[in-house]
Amino acid sequence: EDNVVGNHGDFRLVNWEHARIPGPQGDRYKYIGRAWADGDDGRIYPSASLVVAQYCALKDTNPAWDHADWIYSQVRWGLDGALSFLEKDGRLRYMQYFMDHQWETYDNRFYSGDEKPLVDCFDGEATAQEYDHSNPEIIHTSLLIGPAYAACLFHDRDPEFFTRVAALVKVGYQAIDRQFRPFPKKYSLGAWIWLNLLMARLTGETDYRDRAIREADRFLDLQQLEWAGDASCSARGWFRRSLNGSGNPWGEKPEQEVMLTPWTYQALFQLIATCPDHPRVSAWREAIRSYAGDYLMPIAARNHFGYTPMKVEAPTLKRQVGGKSLSYQYFGAIGRQFHQIGNAAFLLAAGKLLQDQSMIDAAWRQMFWFSGHNPRGYGLIHGFANNCNSGQYYPDDLGKAFPGGTINGAVGDDNDRPNFEKYHEYYTYGNISLLWFGTVAGAKQFSQPLELWPKEITESAHTADPLGHPRSSFPVRMKGGHTYPFMAVLQNQQSTAIDWQVDGIPGGNDEVGHIATDGRYHTPMVMQERQVVIRAISRQNPAIHEETLATVMPVPGAIPHVKLTMQNGHVQLAWEAPPGPLIGYSIWKRLPIGPEQVGTIFEMVGATEGEETTYGYPHARIHHYEDHLIPPGTEFQVRAYHAAFDATHAYTPDGKPYSGLSAGWMRSPRPSPEKIYGFGPPSPTVVVPFPDLAS
């Protein structure tokens, strides 16, 4: 939202700030933003955190092209989502359960995505469906990896914010440690190892690093060291989920899809990078070599396309062709091919670490499959291949076929033959592994003479009926009076000199907005939508240039001043109206840092309409809630917003609001909320005073 606003303003694609709502037992969560994941269990929540972690890993490679802090902007946006799913003690407890008519409710006056009844996300009776909730530790750990990594890497960019994030991570870690000691001995240890390494980096305390090393020994105990199979096919090196359990490296749900099994094994690479001189380095390297060289590659070699296994189901590797059970399998009944992208990333990282070209080649063969080198010639990564399916479960959902998006993939029959006809929806987990692959692969140069980001793009080509699923565009939309980073990269990175224009004016002006020499564009304040053309030009060769069309949206200016007073334990807020277009105001609250609870994001707690510039908290509407207490140090903000004509959440091809029967349940007509152009800049923070102890 703070980098490139979604298609319909602040309330789409994802409006993280509305992820919390007050409830009878305190704050609870809404699951919003279906483009991040899907499902009705706890696995949906860590997705934002893991994407943040992978972006941080990408930044750790110090890519020369990231001279406009593009990665940092993605991390900050993703953190809004990751932190909104964490309670103030660093834990996830509640989620929203699926129900009909979930879109018919509003929070104050803001439409905020998928709304569901609140349940305990680890209550198997309420949320299980086909998922196993026997390993909540992986959910909690995964939720902290992204915030911990970001706090390590970017503290100096925003010390006040990342100090809060670090405090929340520490509180959450302590809570996990108390509940799950000793940490379960299953391959979810990979995430636990990684979190401990991050804690050592975050705090400077070597005890966390030592714990990660000890846990790594327990993790290696789970590796299959004995050869399985016979002369026709033998393999070893996968990780069992427990010492006495199944030899299935596919894993337990939801762990299998939350953590994307190969993705967690980055912890082994992180151990080697963090402790390169430790005596156990040789054991960690051997574990990586065995998983890649003794498990992935031998079974991939038995596939005509060099395709890595999806899972191994038995101690023996003999296959029962035509039966229901295959001892090793390339395709599952419901797809989930993104595991193989994780395999490709693992093979590429292992090949580079071990200087083994055969592993590197095997990794790229895996990516060739996803680019269309498969029996049907289907591309499974949009923007990387043609002939892609639409990848949408419903043609009007948020999961558009965006460039870089990974389709779920093929399914297989009893003879393990791939079929590409169904399960084309998107899942975040595939995109995490694709980002890991890109992190390992690196980029020395780009294919185009000049690359400009962000840029208006069109949904990738696919094979769906264009009438049933038109190719959507992804325009660049920005709020007036805000600053956004544009980034231009020349093919030859040695030449980075770029000249910037706005509507043909070098550097822009007050009317069209100003763009600095580093590409940071400060948009003009506008009273109605205005389009501008941002152009990047090579200073060395002006014939090399790129441009994009951007829309500046009307939003209010900054609120100049907010006054806070206390009356009978209630907060009274009063403020001055800002300049610019205005419909109403929203009220936001953030708790102080405490020993057991930490507020990291501002949470919307109320709203006023029109010209009303006062608000009392807690409002009478939420008097009966338990979360109305206002500890000293609590912060409040006021944000003005502007809305205009009606806009629905999604459209059918003819542009009418969607309603109809799908998948056995009815989508009733959605309400038509006013288009939220966006919030203006937040007001100055006002803080609930601490008691005057002297009096």
- pLDDT tens-digit profile of 326-376? 678 888 776 666 778 889 999 999 999 999 999 999 999 999 988 888 888
Q: Minimum mean pLDDT among 319-328, 354-363, 496-505: which range?
A: 319-328
Provide CB contacts within 8 A for 149, sequence distance 6+: 52, 53, 56, 57, 198
Is residue 421 within 8 Å of 437, Cβ to Cβ? no
Per-residue confidence band for 644, with pLDDT thresholds at 50, 70 and 90:
low
Using CA atoms, how far apart are residues 335 and 340, in angstroms rounded to an integer?
A: 11
Instruction: Centre a 10 Å sphere on the Cβ of residue 29 and count the other Cβ atoms it contains.
Output: 22
Using CA atoms, how far apart are residues 659 and 665, in angstroms rounded to an integer?
A: 11
The single residue listed with the structure tokens 């890649």 is: 292
Instruction: State percent of the chain over pLDDT 70.
Output: 69
The reported pTM is 0.87
Q: Minimum mean pLDDT among 79-83, 277-281, 381-385, 557-561: which range?
A: 381-385
The single residue listed with the structure tokens 């483009």 is: 35
- 69-95 as b/e: b if 16+ CB within 10 A: bbbbbbbbbbbbbbbbbbbbebbbbbb
Of the two residues 673 and 629, the one the predictor is more confident about is: 629
Check whether 519 has a pLDDT greater than 80. yes
Of the two residues 33 and 118, the one the predictor is more confident about is: 118
Using CA atoms, how far apart are residues 548 and 534, in angstroms rounded to an integer?
A: 5
Is residue 445 within 8 Å of 492, Cβ to Cβ? yes
